[in-house]
Structure 1
Amino acid sequence: MRKSSYHIDAKLILDYQSGDNLALEKLVKRWHKTFCNKAHWIVKDPDVAKDIAQETWNTIISKIDDLNDPKTFASWSLRIVCNKSFDWIKKQNKTKEQLKTYHLESNTEAIEENHETELLQRNLLNAIKKLPLHQQMVIRLFYVEDYSLKDISKSLNISEGTSKSRLYHAREKLKLILKNRHYEK
């Protein structure tokens, strides 16, 4: 995100803290779609993503006075979205279903050569699903969303070194999973 965006957000937050409710409306217009998209990216359900975005706004409104540096709104608010999304995933306990799907897919034989690439991609995605949530998040933010390690650390409220470490360990686990499944030589 550009630096000017941080300043716009900071001004809107300060205006809202000073009693300008219109500033909150502008902030919602700037961020609501991003919150929905981020939650949808994590939970894979558009209706749940909208609910998570709404819950995020409720949390933001109730805690915005505790935000010490308004320029950090982007990472602070996205961290709330991520946390609420992860909480929803934990409640759903979909791990068992995902493991069953993974075993079914990994036991099927490759049908034709042109399907081998698709099978490998599916197995890679399933291998990623086997990683702990914190490692899945770093992998997805780094490779899918093209976040830098610095942006990942801000979004997840962890140090840059922790981001780097989680990415390294996630890669190593993926290598082991894929090697054990004979997808890597």
Structure 2
Amino acid sequence: MKKNNNISDAALIESYQSGNKKALSLLVERWHTSFCRLSFFYVKDADVAKDIAQECWSTIIRKINTIQEPEKFKSWAISLVNRRSIDWIRANNRERNKLYEFHKENQVNSVNEETTQKEKQKLKLLHAIQSLTVDQQYVIRLFYLQNYSLKEIAEIVGISVGTAKSRLFHAREKLKLIVKNKDDEK
């Protein structure tokens, strides 16, 4: 085994190109673990790193007979592993970005649907308010839209606090009935 460690990569490649199939096994045995580690350094996933190393070996095996400068095998093979690992990261990031955009778009759509639903409810309520008497509309608007207290409403309108409270109560009850009836119609 020590004898095989002394054989250079260039000698193993030349031996393989000359027909010695065992030379490729020795080359794989020498470099496979290093390729896996190098790929893992980038992708941080052992299974993906092994797959990338395997893909690189497929490329190396396809092109090993065309290698003109076997002494440059190490740098060529390492750059191949680097590029494949970085390509995987880029593809993975693109996929992650697509999923993020899809999720974000769906959130926006659901928010738009909620907003549309709220707007419909507001319109329904405004139409219901318009069907109230003028006195009831006035009390509702002062109380809910302008945030006046019952005492302030009584002073503005020139009625007692009890009357203001009574008008607000009856206006709310009538609104409940109007909204309920419109919901039942659908």
Give me the TM-score of the superposition, normalised by structure 1. Answer: 0.47
Highest CA radius of gyration, 1 or 2?
Answer: 2
Give me the TM-score of the superposition, normalised by structure 2. Answer: 0.47
Instruction: Indicate the structure whose relative CO is greater, using CA pairs within 8 Å and at least 6 residues apart.
Output: 1
